[in-house]
Structure 1
Amino acid sequence: MKESTLEVLFYLFDNYPEMDDEATPSDDRESMNVYLQGAGFMPGEINRAFNWLESLGDEHQDVLEPYSPHSLRSFAWQEQRWLNTDCQNYLLFLEKAGVLNYEAREQVIDRVLALEDPDFTLDRLKWVILMVLVNRPDEDNSFLWTEGLTLDGSTPVYH
């Protein structure tokens, strides 16, 4: 069973029972690991998913500030391998709309590259963006753009 890192995380977020407040982080990770292995995920992919998720909280890397607010971000061939044209355009759109600043954009790109997901789509990019922004305490976290996201690809329910 070959699963991507995001598929492991999606399954965990969608199916894992609520955790109690008394559990320690190491107990939580171990119980989640057992739960995911019971669901058929391989230990290596589970660890990769945990490491990817934990890396969201790492200190942000220094990113050079753009020379001009009107500068254009070009994507390197390594980035184009994982980010198709729709994904690239969406990232640039969110930056122009003020949802992402240049640092958040670069962190999103870094997290996408770390996934090495050959089936990466615009919907998956939206989830990566959401996870990055949730883990950036200095951001506004205005998530109106996430309104149409669902884990299973079904029609979203609007509240």
Structure 2
Amino acid sequence: MFEVLVYVYENYWQGAACPEFDRLGRKLIAAGFEAEEIQEALVWLDGLNIAAKGTQISLPDAPGALAGEPSDSGAVPARMQAQASNSLRIYSVAEQAHLGAQSLGFVCFLETSGVLPPHMREIVMDRAMAAPGDPVSLDDLKIIVLMVYWSFGEEPDALVLDELCDDTEGRLAH
């Protein structure tokens, strides 16, 4: 599945340039990917599109801004409230088991570096939980982070992109 995602990222850099899933599926078959791998990637991408489109951040002083606050019609808006600066994200036991310490540490690194805002972090966590692997490898998590940026039509900072794409096995710690 991750090879298909990398192919989509490289060939349709802007998420808006990506064709509809039926057409994309045909292009991926023509590119030589297995049908099962394509189907798994398309389901994953559909979940990413739903998550990215459903993410809306409201300001607390805006009408109906609080998540779960009923509007005049009585309907509850499906918006996220912006995370407070003193809030803390606790990872569930299932998230800890599925991602592993190395991947969770990388998510924390990106978040504390200021390059992964809370709303994008939540989509990364959602899509990581939907990804195969126990635990999800760090390389696969990096692809997930790239795809989340891709879904928002954003290019990561050059240093972040280097961190996401660079092979770290040859690095020496000092």
Q: If the length of structure 1 is used for normalisation, what is the TM-score?
A: 0.68
Say if 2:72 is the partner of 1:56.
Answer: no
Structure 1: gaps spanning 5 or more residues: 17-23
Aligned to 1:77: 93
The answer on whether the counterparts of 1:63 and 1:106 sit within 8 Å (CA) in structure 2 is: no
Selected match of 1:88 from 85, 99, 104:
104
Aligned to 1:99: 115
Greater Cα radius of gyration, structure 1 or 2: 2
Q: Which consecutive segments of 4 or more residues in structure 1 shift more than 6 A?
A: 151-156
Q: Deviations over 1:90-113 (max 9, x none)?
A: 112211211011100000011111
- Aligned with 2:97: secondary structure? helix
- Aligned with 1:95: secondary structure? helix
Identical residues among aligned pairs (%): 28
Say if 2:63 is the partner of 1:47.
Answer: no
Residues in 2 aligned to 1:117 and 1:132: alpha-carbon distance in whole angstroms: 18
Q: Which amino acid aligns with 2:113?
A: A
Q: If the length of structure 2 is used for normalisation, what is the TM-score?
A: 0.63
Total equivalences in the alignment? 138
Q: What's the CA shift for 1:73? A: 1.3
* 1:28–1:126 CA distance, 2 compared to 1 (3 A): closer
Aligned to 1:146: 161
Residues in 1 aligned to 2:118 and 2:9: alpha-carbon distance in whole angstroms: 30
Q: Deviations over 1:21-45 (max 9, x none)?
A: xxx75444313224435xxx2x233
Residues in 2 aligned to 1:73 and 1:14: alpha-carbon distance in whole angstroms: 29
Q: Deviations over 1:90-147 (max 9, x none)?
A: 112211211011100000011111113236211221111111012214x573242121
Q: Which amino acid aligns with 2:111?
A: E
RMSD over equivalenced CA pairs, Å: 3.2
Structure 2: gaps spanning 5 or more residues: 12-18, 56-78
Say if 2:137 is the partner of 1:121.
Answer: yes
Residues in 2 aligned to 1:153 and 1:98: alpha-carbon distance in whole angstroms: 21
* 1:142–1:150 CA distance, 2 compared to 1 (3 A): closer
Residues in 2 aligned to 1:144 and 1:150: alpha-carbon distance in whole angstroms: 10
